[in-house]
Amino acid sequence: MIKPSIVNVNVPIFHRNTNSASAASRRKTKPPDRLDSWLDEQGFYRKHTARDESCLFRAVSEQ
């Protein structure tokens, strides 16, 4: 199992709902990095937000 060494706190992390049909459409075919792979193994995913001066606000407001 791969453990993440650094976590970006400005990226919201959500639990993956595997019971819905839309969950399959949100799942990526190949996670782009080690953190996404680890989160996918745990049943979670990251929602990437635009990088700008209000990124923390945007990340919190998405939750």
Query: At 35, which helix (H) or strand (E)?
Result: helix 34-42
Mean pLDDT computed over 25-40: 70
- Could you tell me the pTM of the whole model? 0.37
Tokens of 55: 């990124």
Tokens of 34: 């080690």
Tell me the pLDDT tens digit for each residue of 39-52: 888 998 887 766 66
Q: Give 34's pLDDT tier (boundaries 50, 70, 90).
A: confident
Per domain, the residue ranges of the chain are 13-61
pLDDT of residue 35: 86
pLDDT of residue 37: 84
Residue 9 has pLDDT above 60, yes or no: no
